[in-house]
Chains A and B, each alone.
Chain A
Amino acid sequence: MATADAAHHDEHHAHPTGILRWITTTNHKDIGTLYLLFSLTMFMVGGLMALVIRAELFQPGLQVVDPHFFNQMTTMHALVMIFGAVMPGFVGFANWMLPMMIGAPDMALPRLNNWSFWILPFAFTMLLSSLLTAGGGPASGWTLYAPLSIQGGMSVDMTIFAIHMMGVSSILGAINVIVTIFNMRAPGMTLLKMPLFVWTWLITAFLLIAVMPVLAGVVTMLLTDRHFDTAFFNPAGGGDPVMFQHIFWFFGHPEVYILILPAFGIISEIIPTFSRKPLFGYTTMVLATAGIAFLSFIVWAHHMFTVGMPLAGELFFMYSTMLIAVPTGVKVFNWVSTMWRGSLTFETPMLFAIAVVFLFTIGGFSGLMLAITPADFQYHDTYFVVAHFHYVLFSGSIMAMMGGAYYWLPKWTGHMYDEKLGKTHFWLNTIFFNITFFPQHFLGLAGMPRRIPDYALQFTEFNVISSIGAFGLGLSQLLFVYVVIKCVRGGEKASDEVWEQPRGLEWTVPSPAPYHTFETPPRVA
């Protein structure tokens, strides 16, 4: 009776249509869609910047852009990908899936949710338009190291304000996630019954609230150094350029887990479904996630082994960093154990999930190499580092999101995506990814520094290979966009379950998921 009343009541709402629907929406599914589309757009914009970089590095010499613009591209590529593609992408997944996974009707704070999305387009308009200012965009790398960033033009100020806005957006989103998870779970859904994606997002949200203010603080200090005669980072005024790096990386290292933990969550949803087994070691997965989150706060200075720290500091950060391999190893073994003796099938989401487990582990191992202080003296600031973080960020975060998109697209749209095209996208993407980034390990080990627009002749061959791979990788994403559009517009009707007996409340609602789900909470056994 209650259900019927609620449904009846709902029909009398006058929903705005057209553009106003999207501007005024407080519906978690609409906002999730906005976030995902925004993320996809930024992924393409950041990808184009990467192609400018790879085009310039195709051959030795300066053929395409000048060195200053090259530095703007490396800076913007990172900012756009991290803050524009990966973070909003995960928030999009959270918006769509969290309420459905915990049996809630919506996010706990729907208007806040609307606001936290709509800050983003303005933040990125400001960030991207800084490229048009006199002197061009920010060119000091996404890390904005002082004193170099203090010398930049007004584009640095625009970047700082854009970062403030993104930070506000992230914190509001994180508050919403925490409040939703703690207050809106269906009866019977205890914390340790939550799907792992919910758990990873809960922990990620705490990380966001802990470190985004630190980033806001450090860029504000940069702003006052630039304009209000403070000298936080200026040694001539008694300041300390290394302090910038300490504060930045106190944000920066938890940030990289913000970028990967929700990916772990997505993988932990996909693998059991296509192994037809429950997730192996659920509780250890939760504890490992919490362990990674805790450790992320005590490893930051491994990004700065070459600044000249005391030996005790170098040892501490080396060992604490290596400790992260333990909970991460737990996760990898649990995923493999979930597949062990499972009844495996290899649909596109599963292909992505397996590739993520394999390729992320490569990135994890190169991370372990970088953690070894004396070895890092050699690897630091080389292409080895570039290869490392693309193996964890692209073949970790981004490919997990692609897998997640294929996994839940039928639930979102009500249509099956084109499996053949999905698999083609997977193979093109994964092969070109490795062609692009695997040779960069060799470049780094051979002595090629990061962030250079031109290079000595011994680096030519691997750069040629890498650039060819990058263009292939970029083009193969057009196929992804095509598959998504095709799936939205039509296709084979998806069943409610979509896959074979998947676990999770989202598969108990119809496909496509109705505009409002779980207005009456389900009872979880």
Chain B
Amino acid sequence: MEVAEGIEPKGANYLLEVDKPLVIPTNRKVRFLLTANDVIHAWWIPQFGTKKDAIPGYINELWTLVEKPGTYRGQCAELCGKDHGFMPIVVEAKSPEQFEAWLASEKQGQAKDTADAAREWSKGELLTHGEKVYANCVACHGADGKGMPGAFPAITGNPVATGPVAAHVSVVMNGKTGTAMQAFKNQLSDLDIAAVVTYQRNALGNNTGDIVQPTQVNSVR
């Protein structure tokens, strides 16, 4: 937001950076399947010369053939709400060899993630990771867990964060209807949820001593 507000200097790819680009191989037809689960968006990379809407309830298809390896940038092209201007799309086109190499390393990474999700985590590890994941909660509940009186409840001493573990996990995963608390189950991994719940129960002034394992989260998905 600091960048958007014009306080920080803007980089060359201002508004067109993503944390995880889509990787495709060059010289091969690539078919995209598009859908949406909230409102209509549109997937557009200007250099590909085509765009298509992503519509709830529809699966639209689009194809491209990229010849030059490189980074291709685009944006959502259908008005989708207040953050419409902040929906960048980045595609990395890699030569077939590099693509295979990337694929192999991704598979390795995923195998590690699967292993991580399956193993037992120590309390220390969960707290370290949970502190990072808690960044998702800071905007409302505050870095110190005190919330914003009248608007957003505190985590510190909260009956949910100090009561039964299952209820706490459920609120984080499914949100709370009628409030601003959103569902995080599609956004955070089992490990992330386990870590952040453990963190909330053992830090920010709480001290229940409970430990939540990724496998526990997975069992209620």
Contacts and interface: CB of A to CB of B under 8 A. Distances in A.
Judge: A and B partners, yes or no. yes
Interface of A: 59-63, 66-68, 71, 139-141, 145, 147-148, 151, 235-236, 239-242, 306-308, 374, 377-378, 380-382, 446-447, 449-457
Interface stretch (B41-49, B137-145, B208-216): B41-49
Contacts of A308: 52-53, 55, 58, 60-61
Interface string B53-70: 101111011000000000
A452 B52 CA distance: 18
A61 B5 contact: yes
A264 to B, nearest CB: 31
A59 B4 CA distance: 11
13 contacts: A60-B6, A71-B82, A235-B56, A241-B56, A378-B51, A380-B77, A381-B51, A446-B46, A447-B46, A447-B74, A453-B85, A454-B15, A455-B85
B13 A456 contact: yes
Nearest to A446: B46
Nearest to A150: B39
A358 B155 CA distance: 65
Contact of A61 (B4, B44, B56, B86): B4
B79 A141 contact: yes
Given A59-B6, A151-B39, A452-B84, A307 B53 contact: yes
A139 B84 CA distance: 11
Contact of A71 (B42, B53, B73, B84): B84
Contacts of A381: 42, 44, 51, 77-79
Contact of B79 (A71, A151, A456, A457): A71
Contacts of A454: 4, 15, 85-86
A239 to B, nearest CB: 8
Contact of B55 (A63, A66, A141, A242): A242
B10 interface: yes
Contacts of A141: 79
A450 B74 CA distance: 13
A218 to B, nearest CB: 16
Contacts of A147: 38-40, 56
B53 A240 contact: no
In the complex, the 7 A-B pairs of residues with the closest C-beta atoms, listed nearest first: A235-B57, A61-B6, A452-B85, A447-B46, A308-B60, A68-B82, A377-B50
B51 A306 contact: yes
A428 B128 CA distance: 64
B11 to A, nearest CB: 8
Nearest to A454: B85
Given A62-B5, A382-B77, A456-B16, A306 B52 contact: yes
A450 B76 CA distance: 10
B81 A148 contact: yes
A272 to B, nearest CB: 43
A480 to B, nearest CB: 32
B80 interface: yes
Interface of B: 3-6, 10, 12-16, 38-40, 42, 44, 46, 49-53, 55-58, 60-61, 73-86
B39 A148 contact: yes
A463 to B, nearest CB: 13
B58 A67 contact: no
B80 A148 contact: yes
Nearest to B1: A62
Contacts of A456: 13-16, 73, 75
Contacts of A242: 55, 58
Contacts of B51: 306, 377-378, 380-381
Nearest to B55: A241
Nearest to A382: B77
Given A61-B4, A456-B14, 17 more contacts: A60-B6, A62-B4, A63-B6, A145-B39, A145-B79, A147-B38, A148-B40, A235-B56, A241-B57, A241-B58, A306-B52, A377-B52, A380-B51, A449-B84, A454-B15, A454-B85, A455-B15
A114 B162 CA distance: 67
Contacts of B82: 66-68, 71, 139
A447 to B, nearest CB: 4
Contact of A452 (B10, B56, B75): B75
A293 B188 CA distance: 54
A446 B61 CA distance: 24
A449 B53 CA distance: 13
A317 to B, nearest CB: 16
Nearest to B35: A235
A145 B76 contact: no
B87 to A, nearest CB: 9
A118 to B, nearest CB: 34
Nearest to A380: B51
A241 B50 contact: no
A381 B6 CA distance: 26
A219 B63 CA distance: 35
A377 B109 CA distance: 37
A306 B42 contact: yes
Contacts of A148: 39-40, 79-81
B49 A377 contact: yes
